[in-house]
Amino acid sequence: MAETSSGPGTVIDFPVRPRSGLRRWWRWLVAAVLALVLVAGGLVLYFSPVLEVREVRVEGTHHVDPGDVRRRLQPLSGTPLPQISRDRVERLATEVPGVHEVDMVASPPHGLEVTVHEHRPVARTEGETARLLLADGSVVEPGRDGRPPEELPTVSDELLQADRPTRVAVGRVVNALPSEVSEKVERLRAEDPDDVRLVLDGGLTVVWGDPQEAETKSAVLQTLLTAEDGARLKDVDELDLSVPERPVTR
């Protein structure tokens, strides 16, 4: 405390206590309270039945039955929307043959919209009761119009009745072909997963073998087909690419 003389009286100056520390303390307190409110609100929504799933809408299906997808997603019923992740939805939905992946959008308060992306068709059977082979080895009926794409190569009914590993192998082979090669394939055959064969337009049979080394096999086949307009394969009935580093013609 200091005394200051100014004329006949005496003025006593008291030191002023800074208020910045008090204001800072209040700001921290308000921020902490707001954070607690937000966390509490988030926990309430996370566990609250107010946002539980009661309706699942499935879109994007063409060959896959949307009812099958909804049945697979039934375990999500009653689960609060904040607890549902895309990975969980995809794990359930991809148990349905033909489903490749999904997208999902929450539609509060009780809706979940799931968009399905299917495996693409790689082959078809012939006749009025045509069926499709998808890239994952699934066998499905043609889509909404009931007609399979005409540009697809054909397979026999026996192949579609083969074991799943064989069908999967065929699907993987076709799915790996570049468009320049796949558009030349007229028919597919397979006795087992290690003996996939492609019959090209013109009658050439390509012994592909197993689905391994698809990129190398495709490159060799494309080179032989394009070199001098396929002159190297003239009068060749069969091209064996099962060991792509040593192709054999017969």
Which pLDDT score is estimated for 217?
Answer: 94
Of 63, 91, 118, the residue at which a domain comes to its end is 118
Pairing between β-strand 238-240 and β-strand 248-249 as defined by DSSP bridges: antiparallel
**pLDDT score of 126:** 84
Assigned domain for 146 exists: no
How far is residue 135's CA from residue 133's CA, in Å, rounded to a whole number?
A: 7
CA–CA–CA angle 112, 116, 117 (5° rounding) = 150
pLDDT at 16: 55
pLDDT, residue 1, reads 47
Given a contact cutoff of 8 angstroms between Cβ atoms, the answer to whether 120 and 182 are in contact is: no
HSE-CB for 69 with a 13 A CA cutoff: 30
Give the separation between CA 92 and CA 88, rounded to whole angstroms: 6
User: pTM for this one?
Assistant: 0.76
Domain boundary among 64, 97, 118: 118
Instruction: Name residue 124's beta-bridge partners.
Output: 132, 154
pLDDT tens for the chain, 250 residues long, are 444 555 556 665 555 555 566 677 667 766 666 666 555 545 455 556 778 899 999 999 998 999 999 999 999 999 988 889 999 999 999 999 999 999 999 998 899 999 999 999 999 998 767 899 999 999 998 876 667 778 899 999 999 999 999 999 999 999 889 888 899 999 999 999 999 999 999 899 999 999 999 999 999 998 888 876 567 787 889 999 999 999 999 8
Asked whether residue 18 is assigned to any structural domain, the reply reads no
Tally the domains of the chain: 2
Residues 164 and 89 in one domain: no
- The domain of 176 spans 159-249
Q: What is the C-alpha radius of gyration for the chain, rounded to an integer number of angstroms?
A: 34
- Distances in whole angstroms, Cα of residue 31 to Cα of each of 26, 35, 152, 176, 237: 9, 6, 63, 56, 79
The pLDDT, as a whole number, for residue 43 is 47
> Does any domain span residue 168?
yes
- Domain presence at residue 140: no
